[in-house]
Amino acid sequence: MLIKDNFDEALKFSESTNEFLSHYQIPPSPVNYSVIYLHVSKRNEKLSVELERHLQTYQEIDLIFIEGLFEKYISNAHTIDKQILDPIEKALASTLEKINLQVDSDKTVASNLKKAEQALTKHEYHKSMQSIVAFLMSSITTSQQQHGDLSLELTRACGEVNFLKSKLEAARHEAIVDSLTGLYNRRGCDMKLQELDIEQVHSSLAIDIDHFKNVNDTYGHMVGDEILGEVANRLSAETRDKDKLVRWGGEEFVFVIAGGNKDNKTSVANRIIKTISSKAITTSVGEIRVTVSAGAANIKPGQLNKETWPEVLKKVDRALYIAKEGGRNQAVLI
């Protein structure tokens, strides 16, 4: 059957994907799996051409390159849901419903034929009619079995579609969320900025943990991760639903204050600095006190787009640099 062939084909592609990942020692994360699955299944010609060209040049694949392919070819995977998986799921569900209705109809016919057979056995002269009824019952039984088998196949195919949708959702989540802090990452920041009204004035803060390298060198990266997680929690407590907080990279965070905040950006930045520095962070090696520096700048109407957002970041980074050079544990507005 066509559906079974497709299911078996998907299993084959899955095995090939795992072999590819293992051969090049690539972690089987949702992002990596999605890229390689598309490649081995030949579902995206441009992706495969770029990947094969990279292999011919470097004989290996690094995670940054795979992430680039994901962003370029798959990060808009919601279109796969809408344009491919959702229609398939609906078609399968519709077909399954029709099959189940047919099964119910077969049961009704079989029940009526059974009654007819019982009635005919009481009359010896209806032997020929009994044979016809027996034949019909046998045919109905076969039909029921076939419909039952098809129903099971369709149910299994629906399950596979749901599995693929969950894989895509996991890949999307991994692509935009920082796994350590649970905050959005750079890619997630670009996506969330689109939710803000570009005609309003907003504010942006760049927040950096002071002397974080010393923390890692002294206590190790695991303790450094504990501190990053707690700083992220404290920063999150200072945000409103419409504000945007992201881990920009390393020990740096970006905080976009949506327009209409009654506090100005300087007071928000100073409050954040006090929140971080006022209480030591409890870690696996004891309490450690850290401070942060912040740079702040206004975002003018129309600047929340991919073309002008880098310019905003340059301004807040410049302000952050001044705060660092000026002694740290302070905010600078430009």
Judge contact between 257 and 203, C-beta under 8 A: yes
Which pLDDT belongs to residue 276?
Answer: 95
Dist CA 156 CA 135 (whole Å):
32
Domain 186-333 has CATH 3.30.70.270: yes
Domain ranges of the chain: 2-73, 78-176, 186-333
Chain centroid to CA 16: 23
pLDDT digits (tens, 9 = 90+) for 75-90: 655 555 555 556 555 6
Query: Strands across the sheet with 331-333, in order?
Result: 244-249, 252-257, 202-209, 292-299, 331-333
Which pLDDT belongs to residue 7?
Answer: 65
Q: In order along the chain (334 residues), what is the average pLDDT of each group of 10 residues?
A: 54 85 83 86 88 89 83 64 56 62 62 59 56 60 64 67 71 82 86 70 87 94 95 93 88 84 72 94 96 88 65 88 94 88
Which among 236, 142, 134, 247 is positioned nearest to 189, based on CA atoms?
247
The strand pairing partners of 171, in sequence order, are: none
**Separation in Å, CA 248 to CA 18, 98, 100, 252, 256:** 31, 51, 52, 6, 12
DSSP element (H, E) containing 207: strand 202-209
Judge contact between 34 and 44, C-beta under 8 A: no
pLDDT digits (tens, 9 = 90+) for 269-318: 899 999 999 999 999 999 999 999 999 988 776 666 655 777 888 889 99
* Position 331, amino acid: A
Which pLDDT belongs to residue 138?
Answer: 65
**Full-model pTM:** 0.56
DSSP element (H, E) containing 180: none
Active-site annotation, residues: 251
Which among 218, 208, 222 is positioned nearest to 318, based on CA atoms?
208
Which among 131, 153, 151, 132 is positioned nearest to 143, based on CA atoms?
151
The strand pairing partners of 283, in sequence order, are: 286
Judge contact between 207 and 306, C-beta under 8 A: no
Which among 296, 249, 244 is positioned nearest to 270, based on CA atoms?
296
